[in-house]
Amino acid sequence: MSVQHFLTLLDLDPARLHQLIQRAIEMKALRQAGNQPTPLKGKTLAMIFDKSSTRTRVSFEAGMAQLGGAALFLSPRDTQLGRGEPIEDTARVLSRMVDGIMIRTFSDATLEKFAENSRVPVINGLTDRFHPCQLLADMMTWTENRGEIRGKTVAWIGDGNNMCHSYINAAIQFGYKLRIACPEGYDPDADILANAGDRAEIIRDPMAAAENADLVVTDVWASMGQEEEQKIREKAFARYQVTPALMQQASPDALFMHCLPAHRGEEVAAEVLEGPQSVVWEEAGNRLYAQNALLELLLGQGSAG
């Protein structure tokens, strides 16, 4: 039984990812022209959320409806998961009833165990280590605005977190060079970084990392599950705010991205978030189209699932 899951960006090869971004752009144009494709009639997606979400929940739920299917929101509070039913058992049961499952959770081991026991495609809606769906939207947004990202330079400013790890994987798959500016003690995972070879490197100084960059990206200093570290992190990351001065180091036509939610005055200055180089709202909106293309690929007719 071979099921195509999407747990990290490395689960699809570069050619498939490229096709997926092109299809997402096409699906956006079709929907905007009033010709929404409905390849998922009668299909259902279960969505398990162990962490909060606005964009991921709404984009998957709206997306399934637009594609002709339906989505079910499942929280541990009102399912047996919250009362200790093993994840393996839940995967075996749910995957006999639905056509795909999206999970947002803490540990990657939980996600992997779920996927191993699922008969249908499993999609990572964010874990402590990765957020691959966000990267589909980010790469789509880059492509719409600037074309090919291969050979470009991306500066990651801030925490070596799940988004940073996904930017490292995207550097491998999409062929850009990634400079990571993070304070000591907040580096990305060494194995994930090493896997990218010379595609990704740590440059401590945020100004140096941003120099002539084509894309500047950041994310919150304290991710979900790290709320009690907020104060310590504010101190550690004080020099790592994306400011107008930092954006001036970058290429004059550089774009700014942030997966959101954003904390103005922490990881990003309000002038940058709301400024002319910021494409964050478009980026958030593209979650819908990038994931619609992913859902069509994994759950549609002829899919491995």
Catalytic positions, please? Answer: 104, 131, 134, 219, 259, 287
By beta carbon distance, the residue nearest ligand NVA is 223
169 touching ligand CP, by CB under 6 A: no
- Answer whether 134's CB lies under 8 Å from 163's CB: yes
260 touching ligand CP, by CB under 6 A: yes
Between 261 and 275, name the residue whose CB sits nearer to ligand CP. Answer: 261
166 touching ligand CP, by CB under 6 A: no
What is the binding site for ligand NVA (CB under 6 A)?
126, 161-163, 219-220, 223-224, 259
**Contact partner, 54, from ligand NVA, ligand CP, none, Cβ < 5-8 Å per class:** ligand CP
- Give min distance, CB of 104 to ligand NVA, in A: 9
- Which range in 17-25, 31-39, 50-58, 236-244 contacts ligand CP by CB under 6 A? 50-58
**Contact partner, 162, from ligand CP, ligand NVA, none, Cβ < 5-8 Å per class:** ligand NVA
- Give min distance, CB of 55 to ligand CP, in A: 4
In the list 4, 19, 53, 226, the residue contacting ligand CP (rule: CB under 6 A) is 53
Instruction: Give residues 100-129 in contact with ligand CP (rule: CB under 6 A).
Output: 126
- Give min distance, CB of 110 to ligand NVA, in A: 15
C-alpha dihedral (24, 28, 33, 36), degrees to nearest 10: 70
- Give min distance, CB of 205 to ligand CP, in A: 27
Between 118 and 166, name the residue whose CB sits nearer to ligand CP. Answer: 166
For 26, half-sphere exposure in the C-beta direction (CA atoms, 13 angstrom radius) is 10
- Answer whether 211's CB lies under 8 Å from 249's CB: yes
In the list 8, 95, 134, 286, the residue contacting ligand CP (rule: CB under 6 A) is 134
- Give min distance, CB of 178 to ligand CP, in A: 19
Number of amino acids touching ligand CP (CB under 6 A): 8
**Contact partner, 170, from ligand CP, ligand NVA, none, Cβ < 5-8 Å per class:** none
8 touching ligand CP, by CB under 6 A: no
Between 207 and 224, name the residue whose CB sits nearer to ligand NVA. Answer: 224
- Answer whether 227's CB lies under 8 Å from 260's CB: no
Using H for helix, E for strand and C for coil, what is the string for the chain?
A: CCCCCECCHHHCCHHHHHHHHHHHHHHHHHHHCCCCCCCCCCCEEEEEECCCCCHHHHHHHHHHHHCCCEEEEECHHHCHHHHCCCHHHHHHHHCCCCCEEEEECCCHHHHHHHHHCCCCCEEECCCCCCCHHHHHHHHHHHHHHHCCCCCCEEEEECCCCHHHHHHHHHHHHHCCEEEEECCCCCCCCHHHHHHCHHHEEECCCHHHHHCCCCEEEECCCCCCCCHHHHHHHHHHCCCCCECHHHHHHCCCCCEEEECCCCCECCCECHHHHCCCCECHHHHHHHHHHHHHHHHHHHHCCCCCC
56 touching ligand CP, by CB under 6 A: yes
The contact set with ligand CP (CB under 6 A) reads 53-56, 126, 134, 259-260
